[in-house]
């Protein structure tokens, strides 16, 4: 008996198409179960432990899609040796000079300096999931706020790097990674212009729920 897969989707039409595809490709022997389920609530069968968990449910900056909520539900149910793919997703804050970045792309600059990385604001991996799993579970799949992260900004560089972005770095498995611009998922996402307010620090906080996203706030500096 070959290794088998359990496939989950909440969309009935997707499941119907999936079943037709596996039948067409004669891969049915590799399927243990195809199940319509909300993966944020799904319970792993006790008699069928999972060794590899793959979730393909993310957008840039972990926005809109329930990648985090799914991982928070399933990973704590897995054996310790189980592999999670992607293994790690790192969100970072960065200041970008957009016009300079466009010119660097046109000129095919190999070592661009249009991106000024600030700090990591959220990390999704097995360690962080297990650290927050009990509190997240108490929300019963509702909105959950992860710990805040305060990031300092050297205000003297804002004129040269005026826009605030979130970067997404995806560690797929071992040495396989998707870095900035290597995928639509890792393109920077702009969240604010800073020239007018010129904050010296910004508070970030990731939340799950109906509209998962990174929240941020900062105080305006009055001169």
The most distant pair of C-alpha atoms in the chain lies apart, rounded to whole Å, by 72
Whether 42 is in a domain gets the answer no
Whether 153 contacts 194, CB under 8 Å: yes
Contact of 189 with 179, CB cutoff 8 Å: no
82 falls within a domain: no
pLDDT band at 2 (very low <50, low <70, confident <90, very high): low
Q: What is the pTM of this model?
A: 0.91
> What was the pLDDT predicted at 15?
92
Flag whether 26 is in a domain.
no
Going by C-alpha positions, the residue among 77, 79, 35, 72 that lies closest to residue 57 is 72
pLDDT in tens, 127-157: 999 999 887 777 765 688 999 999 999 989 9
How far CA 168 is from CA of 36, 116, 120, 139, 194, in Å, comes to 29, 14, 10, 26, 20
pLDDT for 33-55, tens place per residue?
Answer: 999 999 999 999 988 889 999 99
CATH number at residue 147: 2.70.160
User: How much is the pLDDT for 140?
Assistant: 65
| Domain-located, residue 109 | yes
| Residue 197 included in any domain | yes
Q: Which domain holds residue 156?
A: 88-217
- Summary mean pLDDT of the chain: 92
* CA terminus-to-terminus distance, the chain: 72
> Number of structural domains, the chain?
1
46-54: which pairs have CB atoms within 8 A and are 24 or more residues apart? Answer: 48/6, 49/78, 49/79, 49/82, 50/6, 50/74, 50/78, 50/79, 50/82, 51/79, 51/81, 51/82, 51/83, 52/82, 52/83, 52/85, 53/78, 53/82, 53/83, 53/84, 53/85, 54/85
């Amino acid at each position: 008996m070959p290794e088998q897969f359990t496939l989950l989707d909440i969309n009935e039409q997707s499941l119907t198409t999936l079943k037709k595809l596996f039948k067409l490709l004669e891969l049915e022997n590799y399927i243990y179960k195809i199940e319509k389920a909300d993966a944020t609530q799904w319970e792993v069968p006790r008699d069928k432990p999972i060794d590899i968990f793959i979730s393909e449910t993310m957008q840039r900056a972990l926005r809109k899609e329930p990648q985090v909520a799914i991982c928070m539900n399933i990973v704590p149910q897995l054996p310790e040796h189980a592999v999670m793919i992607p293994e790690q997703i790192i969100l970072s804050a960065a200041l970008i000079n957009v016009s300079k970045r466009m010119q660097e792309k046109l000129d095919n600059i190999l070592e661009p300096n249009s991106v000024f990385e600030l700090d990591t604001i959220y990390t999704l991996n097995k360690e962080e999931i297990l650290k927050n799993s009990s509190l997240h579970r108490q929300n019963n799949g509702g909105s959950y706020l992860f710990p805040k992260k305060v990031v300092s900004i050297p205000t003297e560089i804002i004129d040269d790097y005026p826009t605030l972005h979130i970067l997404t770095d995806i560690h797929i498995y071992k040495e396989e990674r998707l870095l900035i611009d290597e995928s639509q998922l890792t393109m920077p996402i702009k969240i604010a212009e800073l020239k007018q307010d010129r904050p010296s620090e910004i508070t970030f906080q990731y939340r799950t729920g109906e509209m998962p996203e990174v929240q941020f706030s900062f105080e305006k500096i009055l001169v």
